[in-house]
Structure 1
Amino acid sequence: MEIVKVPFGKFNGQPVTKFILVNDNGVQVGILDFAGLLQSFKVPTKDGGLADMVLTSENLDEFTGNGFCTNRLIGRVAGRIANGEFKIDGQEYHVEQNEGQNTLHGGKNGFYNHIWHVDGTKLTDDAVSVTLSLTLTEEMDTFPGKMHVVATYTLDNNDNLSLQFSATSDADTLFNPTNHTYWNLSKAAAPTIDDLKLYVNSKDHLAVDDGKIPTGEKVANAGTPFDFSKPTKLADALKPMANTKENGFDDIWEVEPSLDEPVATLEDPESGRKMSLYSDRNGLVMYTMNSDDPTVYNHGEVHPHNGLAMEAQTLSDTPHHPEFGNVNLHPGEEKTCTIKWHVEY
């Protein structure tokens, strides 16, 4: 096990540091203190090299210069809040609307737009970790309450990378964080995720309006392109989506929460690489990077469907749909949640 600490450019004039976690199998994970960003997830290849399983760059400006939250931590609330308003125990709150009338990913000054404090690193015989923390006030991100959030990434010798969040607040607020990493397990020369196979432990997805806000209706996946109950080639699922406004997926699946059985798996039949995703919450937002915007990149390459974001969280817009779950955080309470990725190669 090993931890390597290296400089990784500057954000708003402040130095950014990358922490490289290495296990005894040669798996390497790069974590930035900027946005808690998962900058790389490298696994050994059969020819003795290393392959990155996520979209990445060695240039911080390519992460900060795009609007796709690439590989960053997201919060206080992942996804969208309709009209930037919600109630907690009858009290109404209004927060910044940064996508039309809606609030997206905690507003423009959420988790993803800060350098986090490095609380420390830990190295044992079986695991290596880095712990980051951030304190946000209402003046910083418009959400009520002074929130303190801690995020710990841990890589172990079973090739699991886990991410545990915990948060407290001095006033009623919301907490539904995620990690916004884009995955592509195929060889570097492959321009899209078309040949990858996706499985999702889900029977339903959420109907949404034109602003991608859930209507409250759950739609059966069976018989639709949203059905990944068996490993499905993404090209086959994306083809019928080509004529939609999105030209792909930007949608919300209801999943069976579990840290023991995968919520989803993504695999590349050609290389044998596979990623299994675990989550203790009931939602999975997936975005197939449908744009050819030049800020969508992988080592400078630009292609629609270049990567797949798999955002584990509680189902979106829960303040307006309490049947989806409870993301309220009250004073004197601590909430935790965990995302885990297991890689095979």
Structure 2
Amino acid sequence: MNISKHAFGEYEGKTVDEYTLTNDNGISISVITFAGLWRSYTDGKTNLLLNSADLENYTNNPFFAGRIVGRIGGRLKDGKFTLNGKEYQVDQNEGNNNLHGGSNGFSFQIWDAQTSQDANGVSLTLTKTFTPEMDKFPGKMPTKVTYTLSNDNSVTIDFTATSDADTLFNPTSHAYWNLADEGTDNILFHTFQANADQHLEFDDEKIPTGNLLDTAGTPFDFSKPTLLKDAIDGMQNTTEKGFDDLLVVKPSATDSVATLSDPASGRSLKIYSERNGLVIFTANSFDDSMTYNRGVAHPYEAVALEAQTLSDTPHHPNFGDVTLPAGETKSYKIRFEGTF
């Protein structure tokens, strides 16, 4: 096992470091301290993650590429929610709505970092304390995000927080995946399977209406491995011409909620989550303002798979509870099993 660190660039006058963790099998991951951003998951030949060598491609990125997201993932209608009878107004950073915790959330911070290792693997722990003055959410919230690369080659991201006042906590990872050989610049010939029988209905602002729609017989039916090209072809009559949607999955720590595979290379990715939502975003709106390891950004270059509790839950209690009560500690884990 090995841990290395080097300077990756500078953001707002502060150094951004990159940490690379390598297990006993030669599998490694790299994470930078800006946005807790996951840059690589590789066997030394192929990186399963969409990434860039240029920090500016991340700091100016409107698609949250690779970043950790919080205090909440997804969209919050009108940037408003009520806790204990009090209404809170947070950032409206996407039209009328709050997206991914706002413009000063997890995804816009430089985090403190510490590494460790044991017989089973290597870890990077990122820490940051969030306050209402930073992101407008209630509560002073010390937060810890730990990436662990195990010797079984899996990666677990553990999000843990405590708050001194009731607040919201629904973090996720916004990593983008392309499992194909390095010369392949799209995920159209990947297959995708998810244990979801329903997905959320959205309004024109991508805010949930509260309705759950059955996936059977629609492009959202991923009950068996489905070629993404076929599913995306079925979405060409939509505004997005692809997926930017939330599947209602069956939470499990022992059974994967989703599997992404590239039949041509034989690589695959299984995702485990004990929360009930999985965003699938097929990069439909990527444009040429960014450049990645898969080339100039373009639609379908990669796919984001964001495990979380269904979004906008304060307005739809049946979606789940993302409240972090004062004085309690909550942890959410997402585990990724990559096969190279």
Matched, 1:243 2:237: yes
Count of equivalent residues: 339
Residue in 1 aligned with 2:72? 77
- Distance in 2, matches of 1:171 and 1:292, equals 38
SS for the counterpart of 2:292 is coil
Offset, 1:191? 1.9
Paired residues for 1:276-287 under 5 Å:
276-287=270-281
Aligned to 1:38: 38
Could you tell me which residue of structure 2 aligns to residue 317 of structure 1? 312
Measure the CA separation in 2 of the matches of 1:66 and 1:131. Answer: 24
Contact 1:77–1:177, Cα closer than 8 Å, also in 2: yes
Counterpart position of 2:8: 8
Unaligned runs of 5+ in 2: none
The equivalences for 1:280-299 within 5 A come to 280-299=274-293
Residue equivalent to 2:185: 191
After superposition, give the CA deviation of every residue in 1:302-326 in whole Å (9 maximum; x if it has no partner): 2211010000000010000111110
Q: CA shift at 1:188, angstroms?
A: 1.7
Separation in 1, partners of 2:271, 2:286: 27
Identify the match of residue 211 of structure 2 among 217, 233, 237.
217
SS at match of 1:129: strand
Q: Which residue of 1 aligns with 2:46?
A: 51
SS in 1 for 2:296: coil
Matched AA of 1:214: P
**Residue 148 (structure 1) aligns with:** 142
Aligned to 2:57: 62
* Counterpart position of 1:106: 101
Contact 1:203 1:255 in 2 (8 A): yes
AA partner of residue 269 (structure 2): M
Matches of 1:106 and 1:187 in 2, distance apart?
34
For 2:318 and 2:128, locate their aligned partners in 1 and report how far apart those are by CA, in whole Å.
30
Alpha carbons 1:318, 1:326 under 8 Å: kept = yes
Superposition deviation, residue 298 in structure 1? 2.0
Using structure 1 for the length normalisation, give the TM-score.
0.96
* Partner deviation per Cα, 1:135-192 (whole Å, 9 max, x = no partner): 1111111111111110000001111100001111111210000000000001122121
Provide the C-alpha distance between the structure 2 equivalents of 1:117 and 1:153, rounded to a whole number of angstroms.
13
- Offset of 1:65 from its aligned partner? 1.9
Residue 21 of structure 2 is matched in structure 1 by 21
In structure 1, C-alpha distance between the alignment counterparts of 2:286 and 2:307, rounded to whole Å:
25
| One of 107, 110, 123 as aligned partner of 1:129 | 123
How many angstroms apart in 1 are the aligned matches of 2:48 and 2:65? 14
- Give the C-alpha shift of residue 293 in structure 1: 1.4
- Residue equivalent to 1:264: 258
- Taking the aligned partners of 1:295 and 1:337, their CA distance within structure 2 comes to 33
SS of 2:78's partner is helix
Unpaired stretches in structure 1, ≥5 consecutive residues? 45-49
Q: Percent identity?
A: 49
Of 248, 258, 279, 1:254 maps to: 248
Q: 1:243 offset after TM fit, Å?
A: 2.4
Q: d(CA) in 2 for partners of 1:259 and 1:36?
A: 23
Q: 2:107 is paired with a residue of what secondary structure?
A: helix
- Partners in 1 of 2:211 and 2:135 — Cα distance? 30
1:296 shift after superposition: 4.2
Moved over 3 A (4+): none
TM-score (norm 2): 0.98
Deviations 1:231-273 (A, max 9, x none): 1110010001122100100000000111211010101111111
SS of the equivalent of 1:51 reads coil
Contact 1:80/1:102 (8 A) holds in 2:
yes
- Cα RMSD for the two superposed structures: 1.0
8 Å Cα contact 1:18/1:33 also seen in 2: yes
Q: Which amino acid aligns with 2:166?
A: D
